[in-house]
């Protein structure tokens, strides 16, 4: 691990090689410009969130950014946004399976459902570096939200696959969805089912507030600007408490 002063020099070198001013880098990190000056001079610590953001900006891993062995990577090209292709059919089956398993729980309304879908997709990507449904998730104040959900759920309601039930949970309005058909499990393989079931077991008992707060502590949500699409690759910078790399590979 490099020292605070060495890290500051490295960040300055990256910034200059990418033709960024201190003001521009500060804006990307949501920091005041003097903070960049303090970081580059070694007078200020860099938080783990800031390291994750810097690694994304400069197109290197967090390990490389903090490594003593980094050589000639300062001119590395910026990493391209990893844009998945949305698989609507698979997304519908994942949604149906989640609803079948836990949709009847009184706490599972739309907010909880959104977070379950998010953790399924991002946990799977962290484990296998591949997309499960390829859904895009936007950062909103209530946590990650699937961008295609409204279109998909409207189609499913129209086809009689899902029923929407407005209800209340502890006096608060809740949008609840009940599956009317069985999921087509032939569209989901063993690895995918394993991740879905683990997420359901781990998180489906949380109420909306609890699961919102939980998602807000996940690095992909934290490092994304408001209303922007969350980059799947930020999942590799998760804190140990959120990382699913401990799952056994099949």
d(CA 35, CA 43): 9
Output the pLDDT for position 249.
47
Output the pLDDT for position 83.
67
d(CA 66, CA 11): 10
pTM metric for this prediction: 0.73
What value does the mean pLDDT take over residues 70-88?
59
3-state DSSP assignment of residue 208: helix
Both structure tokens of 192? 């995918």
Distance of CA 121 to the CA centre of its chain: 8
Output the pLDDT for position 153.
97
Q: At what angle do helices 110-128 and 190-203 cross, to 10 degrees?
A: 130
Residue pLDDT, tens place only, 200-223: 999 999 999 999 999 999 999 998
More confident position, 19 or 150 = 150
d(CA 249, CA 128): 9
What value does the mean pLDDT take over residues 230-249?
82
| Of 151-160, 194-203, 238-247, the least confident | 238-247
What value does the mean pLDDT take over residues 1-23?
88
Report the candidate in 123, 161, 117 with the shortest Cα–Cα distance to residue 135.
Answer: 117
d(CA 50, CA 56): 10
Query: Residue 159, exposed/middle/buried by CB under 10 A (0-12, 13-18, 19+)?
Result: exposed
Sign, CA torsion 117/122/124/130: positive
Output the pLDDT for position 68.
78
pLDDT at 237 > cutoff 90:
no
Q: Which percentage of the chain shows pLDDT scores above 90?
A: 73
Write the CB contacts of 148 (distance below 8 Å, at least 6 apart in sequence). 86, 88, 91, 135, 136
pLDDT at 81 > cutoff 70:
no
Report the candidate in 212, 240, 204, 205 with the shortest Cα–Cα distance to residue 116.
Answer: 204
More confident position, 78 or 145 = 145
3-state DSSP assignment of residue 30: coil
All CATH 1.10.260.40 domain ranges in the chain, comma separated: 4-66
Quote the mean pLDDT of the chain.
90
Output the pLDDT for position 124.
97
What value does the mean pLDDT take over residues 147-169?
96
Domain 4-66, CATH: 1.10.260.40
Write the CB contacts of 156 (distance below 8 Å, at least 6 apart in sequence). 92, 95, 162
Output the pLDDT for position 86.
96
């Amino acid at each position: 691990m490099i020292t605070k002063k060495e890290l500051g020099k490295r960040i300055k070198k990256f910034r200059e090689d990418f033709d960024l001013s201190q003001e521009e880098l500060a804006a990307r990190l949501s920091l005041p410009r003097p903070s960049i000056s303090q970081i580059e001079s070694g007078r200020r610590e860099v938080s783990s969130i800031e390291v994750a953001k810097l690694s994304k900006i400069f197109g290197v891993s967090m390990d490389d950014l903090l490594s003593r062995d980094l050589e000639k990577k300062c001119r590395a090209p910026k990493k391209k946004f990893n844009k998945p292709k949305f698989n609507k059919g698979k997304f519908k089956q994942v949604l149906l399976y989640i609803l079948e398993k836990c949709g009847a729980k009184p706490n599972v309304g739309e907010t909880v459902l959104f977070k379950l879908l998010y953790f399924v997709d991002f946990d799977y990507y962290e484990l296998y570096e591949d997309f499960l449904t390829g859904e895009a998730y936007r950062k909103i104040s209530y946590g990650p939200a699937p961008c295609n959900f409204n279109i998909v759920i409207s189609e499913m309601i129209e086809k009689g696959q899902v029923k929407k039930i407005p209800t209340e949970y502890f006096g608060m309005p809740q949008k609840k969805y009940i599956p009317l058909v069985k999921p087509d499990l032939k569209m989901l393989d063993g690895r995918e089912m394993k991740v879905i079931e683990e997420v359901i077991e781990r998180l489906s008992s949380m109420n909306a507030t609890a699961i919102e707060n939980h998602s807000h502590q996940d690095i992909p949500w934290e490092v994304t600007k408001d209303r922007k699409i969350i980059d799947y690759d930020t999942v590799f910078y998760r804190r140990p408490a959120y990382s699913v790399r401990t799952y056994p590979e099949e």
